[in-house]
């Protein structure tokens, strides 16, 4: 196991990027964005989603990942669960015994350049502004069809806290709340009315 092992908490290519993604498989093997020994780069498309048990990021002394078997994010050993509650019915969006293996990851970046310069210093220099990991999952709970996307954003600006971006759509109108639990305890509730066949997007800061 590499995720959950305190030995691995820093990017092997810190001069390039603060975080690298890690895909951990059921047989104990893993694939990292850059190898920890020879720093060779690997492709996200090499990940075998059918063998995946955990997916996350390692860097800056932290491990941030989710379990594919239940969709629960683990952020430095804090487990984050998400539900939607409407009309007295709780729809658990994470923590269910289904596979959350439709994973995604990307980086936002910006480039700076002096376009009129003919010197090497005038070339475009890019830098990462945030890392994003997560998944999407269709599910049916009670009599409601739900499309759920859960993305964790980690800005590189230390003044901007990490946050979860929740995108959810349903096939009936619901006037309810998104409920966030940390280590089993309710940490926050967000009023989140949903209109049939229209996506609602909500952000929750991890402070």
CA–CA distances in Å: residue 22 to residues 18, 163, 188: 13, 20, 29
Convert the pLDDT of each residue in 124-133 to its tens digit: 566 899 999 9
**Strand-by-strand arrangement of the 200-205 sheet:** 103-112, 125-141, 144-155, 163-170, 200-205
Convert the pLDDT of each residue in 86-120 to its tens digit: 999 999 999 999 999 999 999 988 866 555 555 55
Beta bridge partners of 202: 166
Convert the pLDDT of each residue in 52-90 to its tens digit: 999 999 999 999 999 999 999 999 889 999 999 999 999
Please determine, for residue 15, whether its predicted confidence score (pLDDT) is greater than 70.
Answer: yes
Return the sign of the alpha-carbon dihedral for residues 92, 94, 95, 98: positive
């Amino acid at each position: 196991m590499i995720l959950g092992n305190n030995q691995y908490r820093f990017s092997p290519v810190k001069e390039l990027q603060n975080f690298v993604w890690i895909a951990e498989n059921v047989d104990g093997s893993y694939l990292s964005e850059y190898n920890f020994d020879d720093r060779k780069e690997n492709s996200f498309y090499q990940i075998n989603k059918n063998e995946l048990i955990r997916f996350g990021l390692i860097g800056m002394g932290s491990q941030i990942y989710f379990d594919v078997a239940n969709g629960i994010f683990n952020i430095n050993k804090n487990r984050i669960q998400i539900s939607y509650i409407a009309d007295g019915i709780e729809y658990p969006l994470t923590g269910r015994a289904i596979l959350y293996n439709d994973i995604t990851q990307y980086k936002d970046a910006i480039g700076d350049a002096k376009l009129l310069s003919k010197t090497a210093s005038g070339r475009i220099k890019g830098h990462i502004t945030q890392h994003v990991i997560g998944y999407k999952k269709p599910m049916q709970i009670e009599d409601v069809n739900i499309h759920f996307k859960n993305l964790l954003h980690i800005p590189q600006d230390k003044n901007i806290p990490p946050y979860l971006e929740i995108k959810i759509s349903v096939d009936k109108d619901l006037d309810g709340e998104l409920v966030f639990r940390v280590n089993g305890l309710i940490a926050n509730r967000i009023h989140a009315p949903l209109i049939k066949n229209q996506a609602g997007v909500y952000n929750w800061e991890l402070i």
